[in-house]
């Protein structure tokens, strides 16, 4: 099992030490931003439940909160999972941490700009569908759209930089065909490819393509901004959803990348690259490019064949996830002496959230079903399942693992169990209210529900009770993992 541990003396010891510091900083950012952005989510559901009554602030705060909640959590998911993946990758390839720090600094600048815009109540929604940022009917000042474009550009540069650095680092050690595991397909599993390298390669290629699409999207926005004339909204919509869809999928895949490396430290069974895994991840690289079409099913102007390709690609991405990663996780656990800790429990349960959210997503990616579910709360239901009780569990598991590995602080077993129980019960109860609302055709992104759909208000009230359990779970997590974080920080400074 020596090769599975992250902290040991390895080839790239110097950069690994710097990676530890970077990972610890991003862990702190997760523990800071997740509660803040989560509380915005609590405010959103409280607003929809009408419990605020006369105390409810102006509706602009609702939509500004919705925008920052979405943008922020997608950004946190992508960045923290990326750093988690790099952390485990750093024992196999030599990453230049200066580039990663530069990206970190630029990301913080981008986040500050987004927070300023929130205070100015900029509210085009998290996917800022063109031309809404420019045409707000008096909802927000036009200069906030300019600030937003600058924030997008800064974040785009930051993330393109570290994706390119990732590609450079992998390419310095592995030719592309090896990094994608093609030698396994020829029956020659030598040199052995660590699974995280395969996942990181797929993610980096897809990430660069997605970010280039974001550049094209930004150019269209700038053309509108400086000429005042409308550009083709369907083209921009395709670019926006391609970028957004790939980015959020990558966040999940980053999480799987560190899962492959970390979970075996608890199960005692190495997770090795094999032919099914290679086929699966190469298929994912191809299919993830086309699955985004399901966001445009209700744009009947798209050619019919594009919509059908979207359904096939969406179904296609579910198969490798189930037969390789989900099944692989179960194989790691079945009748094995797994060391159950806060970290291993959250990592294991994170894949369960991915599976259950994935079922909701596959159903919604069926055109005939999407016709009734598109932009209802079913959409919020499935993505909150694989994000909140999926990826967030994975990220919290990663941070719990990292801080324990670096600090050596013993875990309080009872507290760890309480955290897992609260997050599970609260998380699944919370998303269940979204699913039920979706099944009742309740629209998403409504500050208040119309009288015909009053059930949306009732279900939002019930959801609040479950959110409170999640809040309590996160609070206990911060207490338990926070003390480990400080101990890990002190240990790093001492070394």
Partner 1 sequence: MDPMAVFSVWLVIGLVVIAVYAWMAVSTRGAAGDEASYQAVGRIRRPLFVLMLVVLGILFAFTIPRTPYPKGQIPDEVVHAVGKQFQFALSSQPIRSDEEFLQASVKPLKIAQGRLVEFRVTSLDVNHAFAVYDPEGKLLGQTQAMPGYVNRLLLRLDKPGNYTVLCLEYCGLSHHIMRSGFEVVEVSPAASRFSELALRR
| Residue numbers 62-81 binding partner 1 by CB under 8 A | 63
Q: Which window, 2-10, 97-105, 134-142, 146-154, contacts partner 1 (CB under 8 A)? A: 134-142
Cβ(423)–Cβ(450) below 8 Å = no
**Phi, psi dihedral angles at 376 (to 5 degrees):** -95, 180
Q: Which window, 122-130, 141-149, 155-163, 468-476, contacts partner 1 (CB under 8 A)? A: 122-130
Residue 123 has which token pair? 């509210």
For residue 478, state whether it binds partner 1 (rule: CB under 8 A).
no
For residues 324 to 343, the per-residue mask of contacts with partner 1, x marking binding by CB under 8 A and - elsewhere, is: x--x--xxxxxxxxx-x---
Of 2, 9, 14, 452, which one interacts with partner 1 (CB under 8 A)? 452
Q: Which window, 9-17, 74-82, 117-125, 396-404, contacts partner 1 (CB under 8 A)? A: 117-125
Of 453, 464, 491, 492, which one interacts with partner 1 (CB under 8 A)? 453
Considering the complex, state which of residue 348 and residue 430 has its C-beta at the smaller distance from partner 1: 348
Considering the complex, state which of residue 26 and residue 61 has its C-beta at the smaller distance from partner 1: 61
CA dihedral of residues 117, 120, 121, 123 (deg, nearest 10): -40
For residue 301, state whether it binds partner 1 (rule: CB under 8 A).
yes
Of 185, 448, 464, 472, which one interacts with partner 1 (CB under 8 A)? 448
Smallest gap from residue 134 Cβ to partner 1 (A): 9
Smallest gap from residue 143 Cβ to partner 1 (A): 17
For residue 139, state whether it binds partner 1 (rule: CB under 8 A).
yes
Q: Which window, 14-22, 150-158, 178-186, 316-324, contacts partner 1 (CB under 8 A)? A: 316-324
Considering the complex, state which of residue 160 and residue 280 has its C-beta at the smaller distance from partner 1: 280
Residue 314 has which token pair? 């969406």
Footprint of partner 1 on 355-384 (CB under 8 A): 355-356, 359-360, 362-363, 366-369, 371-376, 378
CA dihedral of residues 296, 360, 78, 392 (deg, nearest 10): 160
Footprint of partner 1 on 400-439 (CB under 8 A): 435-436, 438-439
For residue 269, state whether it binds partner 1 (rule: CB under 8 A).
yes
Of 191, 408, 450, 482, which one interacts with partner 1 (CB under 8 A)? 450
Of 35, 189, 429, 443, which one interacts with partner 1 (CB under 8 A)? 443
Q: Which window, 34-42, 213-221, 348-356, 389-397, contacts partner 1 (CB under 8 A)? A: 348-356
Smallest gap from residue 407 Cβ to partner 1 (A): 26
Q: Which window, 104-112, 127-135, 142-150, 458-466, contacts partner 1 (CB under 8 A)? A: 127-135
What is the total count of residues that contact partner 1 (CB under 8 A)? 83
SS (H, E, C) the chain: CHHHCCCCCCCCHHHHHHHHHHHHHHHHHHHHHHHHHHHHHHHHHHHHHCCCHHHCCCHHHHHHHHHHHHHHHHHHHHHHHHHHHHHHHCCCCCCCHHHHHHHHHHHHHHHHHHHHHHHCCCCCCCCCCCCCCCCCCCCCCHHHHHHHHHHHHHHHHHHHHHHHHHHHHHHHHCCHHHHCCHHHHCCCCCCCCCHHHHHHHHHHHHHHHHHHHHHHHHHHHHHHHHHCCCCCHHHHHHHHHHHHHHHHHHHHHHHHHHHHHHCHHHHCCCCCCCHHHHHHHHHHHHHCCCHHHHHHCCCCCCCHHHHHHHHHHHHHHHHHHHHHHHHHHHHHHCCCCCCCCHHHHHHHHHHHHHHHHHHHHHHHCCHHHHHHHCCEHHHHHHHHHHHHHHHHHHHHHHHHHHHHHHHCCCCCHHHHHHHHHHHHHHHHHHHHHHHHHHHCCCECCCCCCCHHHCHHHHHHHHHHHHHHHHHHHHHHHHHHHHHHHHHHHHHHHHC
Considering the complex, state which of residue 216 and residue 319 has its C-beta at the smaller distance from partner 1: 319
Q: Which window, 7-15, 257-265, 299-307, 398-406, contacts partner 1 (CB under 8 A)? A: 299-307
Cβ(28)–Cβ(485) below 8 Å = yes
Of 125, 285, 309, 471, which one interacts with partner 1 (CB under 8 A)? 125
Footprint of partner 1 on 192-221 (CB under 8 A): none
Considering the complex, state which of residue 29 and residue 324 has its C-beta at the smaller distance from partner 1: 324
Of 5, 51, 216, 233, which one interacts with partner 1 (CB under 8 A)? 233
**Phi, psi dihedral angles at 181 (to 5 degrees):** 75, 20
For residue 45, state whether it binds partner 1 (rule: CB under 8 A).
no
Considering the complex, state which of residue 87 and residue 373 has its C-beta at the smaller distance from partner 1: 373
Of 440, 468, 487, 492, which one interacts with partner 1 (CB under 8 A)? 440
Smallest gap from residue 340 Cβ to partner 1 (A): 7
Q: How far apart are CA 433 and CA 384, in angstroms?
A: 11
Smallest gap from residue 408 Cβ to partner 1 (A): 24
What lies within 8 Å, CB to CB, of 21 at 6+ separation is 492
Of 36, 232, 465, 490, which one interacts with partner 1 (CB under 8 A)? 232
């Amino acid at each position: 099992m020596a090769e599975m541990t992250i902290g040991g003396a390895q080839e790239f010891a110097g950069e690994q030490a710097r990676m530890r510091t970077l990972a610890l900083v991003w862990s702190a950012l997760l523990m800071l931003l997740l509660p803040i952005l989560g509380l915005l989510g609590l405010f959103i559901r409280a607003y929809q439940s009408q419990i605020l009554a006369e105390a409810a602030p102006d509706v602009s705060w609702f939509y500004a909160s919705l925008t920052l909640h979405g943008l922020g959590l997608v950004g946190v998911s992508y960045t923290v999972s990326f750093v988690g993946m790099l952390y485990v990758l750093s024992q196999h390839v030599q990453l230049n941490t200066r580039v990663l720090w530069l990206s970190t600094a630029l990301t913080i600048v981008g986040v500050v700009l987004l927070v300023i815009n929130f205070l100015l109540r900029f509210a085009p929604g998290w996917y800022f569908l063109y031309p809404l940022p420019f045409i707000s009917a008096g909802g927000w000042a036009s200069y906030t759209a300019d600030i937003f474009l600058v924030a997008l550009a800064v974040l785009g540069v930051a993330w393109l930089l570290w994706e390119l650095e990732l590609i450079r680092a992998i390419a310095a050690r592995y030719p592309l065909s090896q990094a994608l595991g093609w030698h396994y397909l020829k029956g020659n599993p030598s040199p052995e490819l660590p699974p995280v390298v395969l996942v990181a390669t797929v993610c980096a290629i897809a990430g660069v393509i997605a970010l280039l699409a974001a550049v094209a999207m930004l150019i269209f926005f700038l053309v509108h901004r400086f000429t005042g004339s409308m550009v083709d909204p369907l083209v921009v919509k395709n670019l926006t959803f391609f970028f957004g869809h790939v980015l959020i999928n990558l966040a999940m895949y980053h999480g799987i990348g560190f899962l492959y490396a970390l979970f075996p430290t608890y199960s005692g069974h190495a997770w090795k690259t094999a032919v099914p895994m290679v086929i699966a991840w190469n298929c994912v690289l191809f299919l993830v490019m086309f699955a985004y079409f399901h966001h445009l099913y209700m744009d009947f102007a798209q050619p019919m064949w594009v919509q059908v390709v979207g359904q096939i690609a969406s179904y296609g991405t579910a198969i490798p996830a189930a037969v390789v990663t989900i099944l692989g996780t179960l194989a790691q656990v079945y009748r094995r002496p797994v060391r159950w800790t806060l970290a291993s429990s959250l990592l294991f349960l994170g894949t369960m959230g991915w599976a259950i959210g994935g079922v909701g997503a596959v159903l919604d990616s069926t055109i005939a079903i999407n016709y009734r579910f598109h932009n209802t709360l079913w959409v919020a239901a499935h993505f909150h399942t694989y994000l909140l009780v999926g990826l967030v569990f994975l990220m919290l598991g990663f941070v719990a693992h990292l801080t324990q590995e670096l600090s050596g602080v013993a875990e309080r077993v009872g507290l760890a169990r309480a955290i897992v129980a609260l997050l599970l019960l609260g998380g699944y109860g919370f998303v269940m209210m979204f699913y039920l609302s979706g099944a009742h055709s309740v629209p998403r992104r409504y500050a208040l529900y119309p009288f015909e759909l009053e059930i949306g208000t009732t279900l939002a009230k019930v959801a609040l009770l479950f959110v409170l359990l999640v809040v309590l779970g996160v609070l206990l997590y911060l207490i338990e993992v926070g003390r480990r974080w400080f101990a890990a920080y002190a240990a790093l400074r001492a070394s």
